[in-house]
């Protein structure tokens, strides 16, 4: 509950700043835009998408972009100021889209109603137990063949970052299995091979009680590895279909601020050229996972 209050307070008091961040600038790599692109690429590959739900929709850019495709689109967020900006952005865009201010956990269980459910920058602010509830409810909301496209802060990146996050994994004793999972991805020659290789590493990792400060005033922002999130999804009937690396770090974390232009250039090149190359995931601070309801 403390985390929920911290999260709501942060996004209610920083809604305008978040809107500017979501629009982005050429000087910075835009994680929000990259995650949203993973969602629209998933939609493009699906044979039919009629209804779309975005959980934790922020200021509504993804919902509006999907609505422009003629898809009935809905966004929910529990921060009132975020929804206010969603409605302003919808009016400017001149599209039909629905926005509601409520928690996903209070959202009606409209079983089988949606073709795609998206959650970007959401599960990091809820507990692992709540994430399991989220996965179960998302499975119910989706039609057969529907897709849950979920973004996660990437725990594999802690192996590569060589900073306080790495030290935290060392204290928890999780470095060795994380290295093994990253290596399994690196050695795979195809996505199907990667899924087979990751199967040996699917496990629920212990989570730290606190994380190093990230610039967002919340004590814990949870991270998952691909294998951890895939395992959680399988327990509710999901099958992994694709993974998108987001925010590639071509420079060591300790030096990227000294060369911001180069860091942004490298991150944008990867986003444009290799947006679904699973082998890049260990070098990215975020990933987006496409989980399919095949039952």
Query: What tens digit of pLDDT does each residue of 29-45 get?
Result: 899 999 999 999 999 99
Segment 66-93 shows an average pLDDT of 95
Q: Which domains does the chain have, with CATH numbers?
A: 2-293 (3.40.50.150)
Query: What tens digit of pLDDT does each residue of 59-70 get?
Result: 999 999 999 999
Segment 263-290 shows an average pLDDT of 94
Cα separation, 13 vs 91, whole angstroms: 22
The pLDDT value given to residue 27: 57
Cα separation, 8 vs 281, whole angstroms: 29
Closest C-alpha to 172, from 204, 201, 206: 206
The pLDDT value given to residue 17: 59
| Residue keyed to tokens 């299995």 | 177
Residue 204 has pLDDT above 90, yes or no: yes
Residue 16 has pLDDT above 60, yes or no: no
Query: What tens digit of pLDDT does each residue of 162-183 get?
Result: 999 999 999 999 999 999 999 9
Residue 25 has pLDDT above 60, yes or no: no
* pLDDT category of residue 22 using cuts at 50, 70 and 90: low
Higher pLDDT, 27 or 135: 135
The pLDDT value given to residue 211: 76
Residue 11 has pLDDT above 80, yes or no: no
Phi, psi dihedral angles at 278 (to 5 degrees): -60, -25
| pTM of full prediction above 0.85 | yes
Segment 252-277 shows an average pLDDT of 92
Query: What tens digit of pLDDT does each residue of 97-130 get?
Result: 999 999 999 999 899 999 999 999 999 999 999 9
**DSSP category for residue 111:** T
The pLDDT value given to residue 241: 96
* pLDDT category of residue 10 using cuts at 50, 70 and 90: low
* pLDDT category of residue 8 using cuts at 50, 70 and 90: low
Half-sphere exposure of 254 (CA within 13 A, CB side): 7
Query: Please, what is the average pLDDT of the chain?
Result: 91
Segment 183-196 shows an average pLDDT of 95
The pLDDT value given to residue 182: 97
Cα separation, 227 vs 241, whole angstroms: 13
Q: Which two tokens stand for residue 135?
A: 């996965």
* pLDDT category of residue 187 using cuts at 50, 70 and 90: very high
Cα separation, 60 vs 294, whole angstroms: 28
The pLDDT value given to residue 219: 73
Percent of the chain surpassing pLDDT 70? 88
């Amino acid at each position: 509950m403390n985390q929920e209050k911290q999260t709501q307070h942060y996004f209610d008091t920083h809604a305008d700043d978040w809107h500017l961040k979501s629009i982005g600038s050429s000087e910075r790599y835009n994680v929000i835009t990259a995650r949203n692109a993973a969602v629209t690429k998933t939609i493009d590959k699906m044979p039919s998408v009629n209804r779309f739900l975005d959980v934790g929709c922020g200021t509504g850019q993804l919902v509006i972009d999907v609505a422009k495709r003629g898809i009935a689109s809905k966004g929910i967020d529990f921060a009132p100021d975020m929804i206010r900006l969603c409605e302003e952005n919808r009016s400017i865009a001149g599209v039909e889209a629905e926005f509601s201010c409520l928690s996903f956990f209070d959202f009606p269980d409209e079983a089988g109603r949606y073709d795609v459910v998206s959650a970007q920058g959401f599960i990091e602010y809820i507990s692992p137990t709540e994430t399991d509830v989220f996965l179960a409810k998302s499975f119910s909301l989706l039609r057969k063949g529907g897709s849950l496209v979920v973004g996660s802060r990437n725990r594999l990146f802690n192996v590569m970052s060589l900073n306080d996050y790495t030290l935290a994994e060392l204290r928890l004793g999780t470095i060795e299995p994380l290295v093994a999972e990253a290596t399994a991805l690196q050695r795979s020659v195809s996505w199907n091979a990667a899924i087979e290789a990751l199967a040996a590493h699917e496990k629920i990792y212990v989570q730290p009680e606190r994380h190093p400060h990230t610039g967002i005033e919340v004590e814990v922002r949870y991270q998952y590895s691909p294998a951890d999130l895939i395992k959680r999804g399988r327990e509710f009937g999901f099958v992994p279909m694709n993974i998108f690396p987001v925010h590639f770090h071509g420079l060591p974390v300790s030096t990227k601020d000294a060369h911001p232009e180069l860091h942004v250039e490298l991150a944008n090149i990867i986003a444009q050229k290799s947006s679904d190359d699973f082998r890049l995931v260990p070098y990215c601070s975020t990933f987006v996972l496409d989980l399919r309801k095949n039952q």
